[in-house]
Chains A and B, each alone.
Chain A
């Protein structure tokens, strides 16, 4: 934030950074070969809805805006306990999943909802359960970085596994360096 904005007490809305999403494809391969984790076939987009955003007022409007495959019932919209909306997409093809999330992001940005985007979450599960437990890769929209999130209970997470995932994905993905930004997403509706 510039000096002028500080002097006048202004904050600019932050636009999302979608550039790094497609780096996920190689990361998925690395996760499979190194940690035996495969995509769960689910991904989610988390955003904060606001008042009268470009005439979108109801859940149906948002769903219509983002639902680009009307023939199937693969897209669901839920609200989490903190009032954030989750657009959950299901697709066994990981590449297609990433493309869909990216398309949803782009659509949001086109409708001036870019500043409202929080993160995208991609689910990974052990190929041979139980394994070491599932891991979500979280993409922070504003920062353009990823971090692993491995919940093991209602408010517990496996930090050791998360750090190990980071060490394997360091070269494939821009990993969030500031660990205070590895936020906990309890009750994440993406498996």
Chain B
């Protein structure tokens, strides 16, 4: 059959690739730093790997638990299931489990280590505020996260930061105890070496954090794009975004802080007032997302 007019956004691909490449380079640096530390290497890797793996493996349960979300049956939420059913059949993907979080904040998230263990979840506030077509658009965005395996990719990406954090902590302990126990010139050198390790680790941690955030923003744009193409109407997703983010700004911040840890999996970030901090943000600015959707809409109509 004829190829669709819109399939890929090469600029987005390039940006994603460069970010990913930079993260891989950081991995290499971390490994060499670890090796220079010597004995504790194996232990560090085992601990870090175990932590990252459990975070990845239980991502669906962790997310559902921390959001107080409950899985719902087609009998309990026929509408939600009907919309997800149709989207999954249109995209020819396996239907994820469907959940609802009983909270008024309008948002949605998708998580799970792979499409077979995925769960897609909407808050009650989202379902109350959006019409069916807008709700469908948001769910299409979330299903795109599942199809893109974003949980796996973001877990791998944020693993760098975790490793760097661990290394710096171990270097700090090493500097305190190792340096205190021994005197003389040799001890001095070890302290210097470990101080350097600490500095490098902190630097890596900061850089990897920025890169992970950047990658997360690109993944959001990619999910917006795929979701909009799936429903065929980018303008509907845009209107849903405006409704949600417009409302989120009005809700007091104190309520939203609790969900801060979930930001990377959310449809719209729960923190308001992201002013100058787009560099530190998990989600692209509303304007950026609307611009992309507007461009898509023009491509479809053109």
Contact = CB atoms under 8 A, between A and B. Distances in A.
Interface string B274-302: 00000000000000000000000100111
A10 B86 contact: no
Nearest to A183: B85
B232 A49 contact: yes
Report, as a range, how many residues of chain B touch the other chain: 35 or more
Most buried by B among A5, A9, A53, A155: A9
A50 B235 CA distance: 10
Contact of A52 (B78, B223, B300): B300
Given A11-B226, A11-B230, A13-B7, A81 B132 contact: yes
State which size class the interface on A falls in: 35 or more
A164 to B, nearest CB: 21
Given A11-B230, A180-B95, A184-B78, A83 B222 contact: no
B225 to A, nearest CB: 8
Contact of A186 (B5, B82, B91, B92): B82
B95 A48 contact: no
A183 B81 CA distance: 9
Contacts of A6: 147-149, 153
Contacts of A7: 16, 20, 153
Contact of A83 (B13, B81, B133, B223): B133
Interface in A75-123: 81-84, 109-110, 112, 114-116, 118-119
- Interface SS of chain A: loop
Contacts of A12: 7
Given A82-B136, A183-B85, A116 B147 contact: no
A119 B87 CA distance: 12
A186 B232 contact: no
B226 A10 contact: yes
B80 to A, nearest CB: 11
Contacts of B83: 82
Interface string B100-126: 000000000000000000000000000
Interface in B184-239: 218-219, 222-223, 225-226, 229-235
B78 A186 contact: yes
B298 to A, nearest CB: 9
Interface in A108-167: 109-110, 112, 114-116, 118-119, 140, 142-143, 155
Contact of A53 (B74, B231, B300): B300
A110 B2 CA distance: 7
B147 A1 contact: yes
A48 B16 CA distance: 31
A14 interface: yes
Contacts of B144: 9, 11
A116 B222 contact: no
A112 to B, nearest CB: 5
B148 A181 contact: no
Contacts of A82: 82-83, 86, 132, 136
Given A10-B8, A81-B132, A184-B74, A50 B147 contact: no
14 contacts: A9-B12, A9-B144, A9-B148, A49-B232, A51-B234, A110-B2, A112-B4, A116-B232, A119-B89, A140-B89, A143-B89, A155-B78, A183-B85, A184-B82
Minimum-distance CB pairs A-B, first 6: A50-B232, A9-B222, A52-B301, A183-B85, A142-B92, A9-B148
Given A13-B7, A52-B302, A118-B89, 6 more contacts: A1-B147, A9-B144, A51-B232, A51-B300, A82-B136, A110-B2
